[in-house]
Amino acid sequence: MSDGAVIDESIVAATSGDNAYAKPREVPTVNDVPAAGPLPASCNVALKEWAAVGRAIAAGSDSLLIRAGGIDDPAGRFGFSAGSFWLFPTRYHEAATRLVPSAAGFAMEAGCMEGPPAIDLLLQTVAVRWVDSEELLERLAPLHVLAPEVVAQRFSYRTPGVAVALVEAWRRAEPHFVEETPEMAGCKSWLSLPRPLSCDLLEPVLPVESRRERAELFFGVVGGGPTGGRPQTGGGKAGG
């Protein structure tokens, strides 16, 4: 196995507009992932993720997304947006045993969620890597809350390897509530929301030093570094 030195497919998603959706594009190397840039005024792109993982991210316990794609996703390597996207919480397949023991409380918190999905986390990708080494994934374990067997299942799905994204999270003081439409249902990862959601009232989940430490751990394992001045070092409020 290689150490994941090249990622040849990613997802770029427009963050506003009626036709915004994720589409493939080429990324030359792992060291040339475009920076996310400033926070958008609004965003109608979302990534489905277990609600428990979302609660872990909101609490500052998770900064790494590990994905292989859903049944309804296109075949091939899973791609991440190079910009900003909302986290759309789902409760499919969830159980406390799918998380590390220290994160079991997030599964309980997610299990108490009722009504339409509450969308309160905007994520920005710092860097994306395709990792086809299980040893490297083990070294990234401090950055996420997934149980080892879940990571192993994703690694072996379709083809050995997973896409990993180091993310910075911004939490909105007042969640958006979006009813899931038939078009949004199913085992698909990327969604185009019915309307753009305002990105005002956002605060960074982690302080600058914590973000810097996690970036150092991530790049210490996978190599390279972010472009365009990432990770973000500002700590102020977004929007207004």
Residue 1 lies inside a defined structural domain of this protein: no
Q: How far apart are CA 233 and CA 223, in angstroms?
A: 20
- 237 within some domain: no
Kindly report the average pLDDT of the chain as a whole number: 76
Residue 235 domain flag: no
Per-residue confidence (pLDDT) for residue 101, from 0 to 100: 93
Confidence (pLDDT) at 153:
92
Each residue's pLDDT, cut to its tens digit, for the chain (240 residues) gives 333 322 223 332 322 332 222 332 333 233 334 445 689 999 999 999 999 999 999 999 999 999 885 444 444 455 675 578 999 998 765 577 899 999 989 988 887 777 788 999 999 999 889 899 999 999 999 999 999 999 999 999 877 889 899 999 999 999 999 988 877 877 778 888 999 999 999 999 999 999 999 999 999 999 887 743 333 333 444 443
Provide the pLDDT for residue 28. Answer: 28
Which structural domain, as residue segments, surrounds residue 121? 10-222
Residue 58 maps to a domain: yes
Residue 184 pLDDT: 80
Q: First CA to last CA across the chain, in angstroms? A: 48
Q: What is the pLDDT, as a whole number, of residue 54?
A: 95
Number of domains in the chain: 1
pTM: 0.76
Q: Give a yes or no: residue 239 inside a domain.
A: no
CB 194 within 8 A of CB 232: no
Structure tokens at 67: 């994905």
Rg (CA), the chain: 16
Residue 81 pLDDT: 56
* Residue 5 placed within a domain: no
Element (H or E) spanning 204, and its range? Answer: strand 202-204
pLDDT at 224: 81
Residue 174 is assigned to a structural domain of this protein: yes
Task: Give the Cβ contact number of residue 97 at 10 Å.
Answer: 11
Amino acid at residue number 202? L
- The answer for residues whose C-beta is within 8 angstroms of residue 68's C-beta and 6 or more apart is 78, 154, 155, 157, 158, 161, 162, 163
Question: Rounded distance, CA 90 to CA 49, Å?
Answer: 6
Q: Quick one: 176 exposed, middle or buried, by C-beta within 10 A (0-12, 13-18, 19+)?
A: middle
Residue 234, domain member (yes or no): no
CA–CA dist 186, 119 (Å, integer): 18
- Residue 24, pLDDT score: 29
